[in-house]
A and B are shown apart, each in its own frame.
Chain A
Amino acid sequence: MKKLLHIFLCLVVVLSFCACRDDSEVNFNTSFLYGKWQEGTVYERYYDTLIERVLPNGDTVKVNGTTWDVGDDVNEDEAQLFNWTLTGPTLKHEHVGTFVVIPKLYSVDMLTSQTLVYTDDFGTTHHFSKVE
């Protein structure tokens, strides 16, 4: 009986591993990401190339993303900067501040030409629609 139980557990473990998706094998079309996305009052813009921006302290940085929340009375020309990479399903944002860098890691659930869905490590999911 004990042996059967061990075999069952091993099978469960093996099957469990087999059931797991290999994230590295999931690839999204990055070009869908380029453009302006909206979730409520929050906007994100993904550029296909690096753009130059000047930080409040006068430093020039190259970034490929901006975000702003009009609900907080912030406009696109006042947007904050980030660099993003999409590796497999992992969407990494590195928000560039004057004195700090703030990384954020997400897992993309869906990326189409009109929809972007990603979830962070704590299960918070964001749904964006492309507006431009």
Chain B
Amino acid sequence: MKKALKIIGIVLACLVGVVLIVVGIAVGMLTSSGRLTKMVKKYAPEFITCEMSLGKADLTLFKTFPDVGVDIENVALINPMAGSPSDTLANIDDLTVVLDLKKLLKEKEIVVRKCILEDAFVNLYMDTLGQNNFSVFKTKEDSDTTKTFDYLIDIEEVKLKNADLIYTDDRNQMTAQSRGLNLDLKGKMQDKDIDADLTLNATGLTLYMKAIQLAMKTLSLDFDGQIVQLDQIDGLLKLATPDISLNLDEQYLENDTLSLNLPVHFSLKDKKGHLDKAQIGLNQYLIDVSGDVEIAENHDVNLDLALNTSTLMIEDVLTYLPEKQLKRLRGVELWGKVTLSDVAVKGTYNDSLMPLISGKVMTDDMKVKVPQLPYLFTEVDLDGHLDLDFNSNANSLTVNSISAKYNRSNFTADGLIDDLRGDIGLKLKVKGDVPMADIKYFLPKKVKLNGRTNLDLTTNFTYEQLKKSLDDYNLNRLSAKANLKIRDFSFDLDTIHAAAPLLNVGLTLPASAKQKGQKGAYITLTTNKMDANVGKSIKADLKNPDIKLAADSFKGGIEKMLLNADLKFSQLDLDYDSVTAHIDASAFTFVTTPEKNAKGLNASIALDGKDVVAKMGKGYALNTNSLKVNAAINQNKTKNDFLNRWNPSADFVLGNAVVKVDGIREDIHISNIDFLFNSHELDFKKSTFRIGQSDLSLQGSVVGIKEWLEDHKNLMKGEMEVSSNMMNINEILDLTSGLGHSDAEPVEATVAENKEDDPFMVPEGVNFNFVLNTKRAVYDNFDMNDLNGTMTVKDGTLLLREIGFTNKAAEMQLTAMYQSPRKNNLFLAMDFHLIRVQINDLLTMIPYIDTLVPMLKTFDGQAEFHIGAEANLKSNYEPKISTLRAAADIEGKNLTVNDRFTFTKITDLLDISTNGSYRVDSLDVQLTAFKDEIYLWPSQIAMGKYKVTVDGRMTLDRNGEYHLSVTQSPLPVRLGLKISGPFNKLEYKLEDCKYPNLYKPNKRNDREQMYYELKKKIADRLKANVR
């Protein structure tokens, strides 16, 4: 505005100069043309200081009728100046000046009434020092007293026709150029008062000033008003151009239509102005402007304006924004109606400052497309207040209220959107009704959500932060809080599925705002009921779960996710494969520890469970009051088998538990178990439990589990210490039956075993050493005290190695071996030594001895008993008689005879005198069992003065054939006795003595010698393992 006024002033000054020239011309107006021309040239230097050339001067009536005018042709003012685009100040083809003839003639006073310039070129120039080329007119003060005329400019009308005007101001770096300028200024100018009615049009106007480039085509301007004392301008200025372009560093207007209707009140002296209900029309839109403008001494423009707009179409408004401003929208597209009202433009405008702009913004049915989002925001109705400070980042939009739809979601919000020209900050409180499908885009692809939520969201982050976080799922940049009430919720991630009828979700970003040191999102989940699945195998049903979790790094699925989850619930029902579990009031912690090169999920799991009831198939059941598990998994997705795929490790602490195992009659009562399990090791740190009659304390470790499970080629090794006050070995064996056996039977099996038989199958590929220390143990009818020794389970063989123990009947040592190469061909072997055994007790303990040695029950007393036996067993443990091999060595002294009737009968038949004594002095027998035959090797029994050698054979059907030879007797006769037949109906028959010299080394024949040696061989082999 300042510059425009300046231009007008300059133009007026030029006109004044021209008028002064005309004054001179008017002096000679009564003279002829030639004379008039001479007069003009003569007097012109009195008014003009620069070089000047004038053409022909004539009086004219036609142009100025009814007044008389002077028409001067080819007026040229030459005033060269360094920097000026031209040395010509003005070049006017035709200058017509209308004078007040009456004043001139009567009062010798020159009064100019009109001035008309046609086809003029005016070049105005001001250099950087403020010197110009148009100060070429002498003022009254400058004129000397010798001047011929006094003059007064009282112009009623000034016209410019087809003028080209150039103004160059190097001091202000401004260039203005107008082409085809037609100006009609009517009014009265007297001294410093101008009563003006200005009509101006031009074919073109350009203005270049520093960063401002203004161009208008076909400009039309009207001003009707007053300029009082060349100071106060009051009037109405109208401007219209159909084609205006404006560039203020950036292109704001381009080929737009502009109209101004400005009621102007401006003081040139004070440089203050006031607009009252001014109206700016830009294309089809109108802007009402009122307010004050002040130009300070330092050329600052101070504005205090109020604006209101008509309803604007946003898409049109955006076209007025320069490219640079549009880029700030970051691709956001907007459509719809916007109204700006109560807009205030306040502040200083200068090279470095822009005024503050504030105002009310309302949108109606606006649509917004954000490039990163799949759906439009529609029906966006905003009631906001805009505050723009282009001098700083304090540009904000206060959202009083906004409502919008996003696909099938409805949102309302209020709050603040700040830093509009920078990284837009979103400090909003958002409420919404959102189908979970609509936020799918914000989640990793692997995550699927369903349900519909009431959303209550508070945000405090920037647009860039949001955009980056959506790109890389790093939520640590964001600050937000959200509460969601999700109905019919379901969640899927990889193989994890969770669902709840109503889920309350609390979200805090970043998690550190809730828990120090946490990253990502902090999420709380509460619901009355939640069902969860992991794959097809794990199903969980939770009641009243309360989940608190911090999650970060969502992009790579759960394997890459940093997850720290705490889960509390009142009840959990878990179903995994054939395992079901019911847990009450427990806490569960799940923490992922992703690693860069991990091949799957790395996580640690902690469970503090109370009242756990678990079942594995129909075979196993666990009931415990306390279960604590600290576990870790290290998944390797390239592996298929369980241990290699998950590499689990877990520390189990179990207290007050009962385990039921199908096939084991007795429950396992666990007082406490603390064991560590991983792929390589099972470490029983502490465990005490009771199985039926057995109480056990177990400590030790098992290694090589993974390798054993993989291919059974490597041994699984265990070193365990088992101590017990009471142990029932049968129950213990039931516990470990069948480990490690494949289901396939060898093809050699030709006889199908009873399908119901489930013999104890010794684990293969394992090497377990159990160091036993048991105060009392029971095995079948065996009752053992101070049982010590080693039990080894090694690669298909169960070996009780030199187990030493005592009982009421004897001191005993047992080595036993059990193998189960296949179910219907088991193998049992034993090496049993009873020292100082009471025969009756022995028969009570091991009734099978009576089958092997029926004659033994005839005696009682202390004996030494060694027996070795082996047999293959059927699947029901029944011996395969064809495989039975056994041998026994019995030595006794001073034995009493129980079966006195039989004893008496035998002694009577053999003519042995016992003198009423039912005693045997010594007994030394060897027996062998082969298949169904038990062979009593010729053995000697001493009774006083008699010695009897007895041999024989019996079969398992309790038929026998025995021979007794009296080998030493006071009598000369050596009788033999044959006893044969069923045991319940024996026949006695005297016969020859069969072994008269077996115990007489010097008299043995070859066969007796062979028998003797074989007996010794049998006995030696049996006693070889006695400790």
B877 proximal to A (CB < 8 A): no
Distance from A45 Cβ to chain B, minimum over Cβ atoms (Å): 15
Distance from B865 Cβ to chain A, minimum over Cβ atoms (Å): 14
B751, A73: Cβ atoms under 8 Å? yes
- Complex Cα gap A42–B882 (Å): 8
- Complex Cα gap A74–B821 (Å): 12
Distance from A41 Cβ to chain B, minimum over Cβ atoms (Å): 8
B824, A73: Cβ atoms under 8 Å? yes
B48 proximal to A (CB < 8 A): no
A72, B880: Cβ atoms under 8 Å? yes
Cβ contacts under 8 Å, B817 to chain A: 56-57, 98
B880, A99: Cβ atoms under 8 Å? no
B868, A73: Cβ atoms under 8 Å? no
B930, A102: Cβ atoms under 8 Å? yes
- Complex Cα gap A95–B883 (Å): 11
A97, B880: Cβ atoms under 8 Å? no
B803 proximal to A (CB < 8 A): no
Known contacts: A42-B882, A100-B868, A101-B1017. The answer to whether A78 contacts B825 by CB under 8 A is: yes
A78, B928: Cβ atoms under 8 Å? no
B870 proximal to A (CB < 8 A): yes
- Complex Cα gap A94–B870 (Å): 15
Known contacts: A73-B751, A74-B883, A102-B930. The answer to whether A56 contacts B1021 by CB under 8 A is: no
Cβ contacts under 8 Å, A70 to chain B: 750
B953, A73: Cβ atoms under 8 Å? no
A95 (CB) vs chain B CBs: closest residue: B885
Cβ contacts under 8 Å, A122 to chain B: 953, 961
Cβ contacts under 8 Å, A69 to chain B: 880, 882-883
Name the contact of B868 in the complex, choosing from A72, A74, A78, A97 (C-beta under 8 A): A97
Known contacts: A56-B817, A73-B751, A73-B880. The answer to whether A102 contacts B887 by CB under 8 A is: yes
Known contacts: A56-B797, A73-B825, A74-B872. The answer to whether A97 contacts B1018 by CB under 8 A is: no
Known contacts: A100-B868, A100-B869, A102-B930. The answer to whether A72 contacts B882 by CB under 8 A is: yes
Cβ contacts under 8 Å, A72 to chain B: 872, 880-883
B930, A95: Cβ atoms under 8 Å? yes
B749 proximal to A (CB < 8 A): yes
B1018, A75: Cβ atoms under 8 Å? no
**Binary flags per residue of B446-469, CB closer than 8 Å to A gives 1, else 0:** 000000000000000000000000
Cβ contacts under 8 Å, A68 to chain B: 882
Cβ contacts under 8 Å, B59 to chain A: none
B825, A99: Cβ atoms under 8 Å? no
Q: Which B residues between 352 and 370 are near A, CB-CB below 8 angstroms?
A: none
Cβ contacts under 8 Å, B799 to chain A: 57
B1006 (CB) vs chain A CBs: closest residue: A24
Cβ contacts under 8 Å, A121 to chain B: 953
A100, B883: Cβ atoms under 8 Å? no
B749, A73: Cβ atoms under 8 Å? yes
- Complex Cα gap A74–B886 (Å): 18
Name the contact of A98 in the complex, choosing from B870, B882, B1010 (C-beta under 8 A): B870
B1022 proximal to A (CB < 8 A): yes
**Binary flags per residue of B312-326, CB closer than 8 Å to A gives 1, else 0:** 000000000000000
B1014 proximal to A (CB < 8 A): yes
Distance from A53 Cβ to chain B, minimum over Cβ atoms (Å): 14
Cβ contacts under 8 Å, B33 to chain A: none
- Complex Cα gap A74–B825 (Å): 7
Q: Which A residues between 49 and 97 are near B, CB-CB below 8 angstroms?
A: 56-57, 68-75, 77-78, 80, 92, 94-95, 97
Majority SS of interface residues in chain B?
strand
B121 proximal to A (CB < 8 A): no
Distance from B798 Cβ to chain A, minimum over Cβ atoms (Å): 11
Number of interface residues of B (CB under 8 A): 40
Distance from B805 Cβ to chain A, minimum over Cβ atoms (Å): 18
Known contacts: A57-B817, A72-B872, A72-B881. The answer to whether A99 contacts B830 by CB under 8 A is: yes
- Complex Cα gap A75–B749 (Å): 8
B1018, A101: Cβ atoms under 8 Å? yes
Cβ contacts under 8 Å, B819 to chain A: 56
- Complex Cα gap A121–B1007 (Å): 12
Name the contact of A80 in the complex, choosing from B824, B874, B883 (C-beta under 8 A): B883
B885 (CB) vs chain A CBs: closest residue: A97
Cβ contacts under 8 Å, A102 to chain B: 885-887, 928-930, 1018
B1021, A100: Cβ atoms under 8 Å? yes
A57 (CB) vs chain B CBs: closest residue: B817
- Complex Cα gap A73–B751 (Å): 6
Distance from B6 Cβ to chain A, minimum over Cβ atoms (Å): 120
A104 proximal to B (CB < 8 A): yes
Number of interface residues of A (CB under 8 A): 28
Cβ contacts under 8 Å, B830 to chain A: 99
Name the contact of A101 in the complex, choosing from B831, B881, B1021 (C-beta under 8 A): B1021
Q: Which A residues between 31 and 57 are near B, CB-CB below 8 angstroms?
A: 42, 56-57
A74, B882: Cβ atoms under 8 Å? yes
B760 proximal to A (CB < 8 A): no
Cβ contacts under 8 Å, B827 to chain A: 56
- Complex Cα gap A73–B825 (Å): 7
Name the contact of B829 in the complex, choosing from A97, A104, A105 (C-beta under 8 A): A97
B815 proximal to A (CB < 8 A): yes
Cβ contacts under 8 Å, B928 to chain A: 100, 102-103
Cβ contacts under 8 Å, A57 to chain B: 799, 817, 829
B748 proximal to A (CB < 8 A): yes
B1025 proximal to A (CB < 8 A): yes
A97, B870: Cβ atoms under 8 Å? yes
Q: Which B residues between 131 and 163 are near A, CB-CB below 8 angstroms?
A: none
Question: Most chain-B CB neighbours within 10 Å: which of A68, A71, A94, A102?
Answer: A102
A69 (CB) vs chain B CBs: closest residue: B882
Distance from A109 Cβ to chain B, minimum over Cβ atoms (Å): 17
- Complex Cα gap A70–B827 (Å): 16
Distance from B987 Cβ to chain A, minimum over Cβ atoms (Å): 15
Known contacts: A99-B1025, A100-B885. The answer to whether A73 contacts B1018 by CB under 8 A is: no
- Complex Cα gap A47–B886 (Å): 24
Known contacts: A97-B829, A99-B815, A101-B887. The answer to whether A71 contacts B882 by CB under 8 A is: yes
B930, A104: Cβ atoms under 8 Å? yes
- Complex Cα gap A77–B749 (Å): 11
Cβ contacts under 8 Å, B953 to chain A: 121-122
B931 (CB) vs chain A CBs: closest residue: A69
Q: Which B residues between 929 and 977 are near A, CB-CB below 8 angstroms?
A: 929-930, 953, 961
Cβ contacts under 8 Å, B821 to chain A: 78
A100, B1022: Cβ atoms under 8 Å? yes
Distance from A61 Cβ to chain B, minimum over Cβ atoms (Å): 12
Name the contact of A99 in the complex, choosing from B750, B824, B831 (C-beta under 8 A): B831
- Complex Cα gap A104–B1017 (Å): 13
B872 (CB) vs chain A CBs: closest residue: A74
- Complex Cα gap A56–B815 (Å): 13
Cβ contacts under 8 Å, B929 to chain A: 102
Cβ contacts under 8 Å, B824 to chain A: 73
A100, B1018: Cβ atoms under 8 Å? yes
Distance from A125 Cβ to chain B, minimum over Cβ atoms (Å): 14
- Complex Cα gap A94–B887 (Å): 12
Question: Most chain-A CB neighbours within 10 Å: which of B815, B817, B827?
Answer: B817
Q: Which B residues between 982 and 1027 are near A, CB-CB below 8 angstroms?
A: 1010, 1014, 1017-1018, 1021-1022, 1025
B1011 (CB) vs chain A CBs: closest residue: A105
B929 (CB) vs chain A CBs: closest residue: A102
A78, B872: Cβ atoms under 8 Å? yes
Can you report 21 A-B residue pairs in the complex whose CB atoms are below 8 A from each other? A57-B817, A68-B882, A69-B883, A70-B750, A74-B883, A77-B748, A94-B1017, A95-B930, A97-B887, A98-B817, A98-B829, A99-B1022, A99-B1025, A100-B887, A100-B1021, A102-B886, A102-B930, A102-B1018, A103-B1014, A105-B1010, A122-B961
Other A-B contacts than A69-B883, A74-B825, A99-B1022, 4 sampled, CB-CB below 8 A, are A56-B829, A77-B748, A102-B885, A102-B929
For the complex of A and B, the 7 pairs showing the least CB-CB separation, nearest first, are A69-B882, A99-B868, A100-B868, A73-B751, A72-B880, A99-B831, A100-B887
Q: A residues within 8 Å of B by Cβ?
A: 42, 56-57, 68-75, 77-78, 80, 92, 94-95, 97-105, 121-122
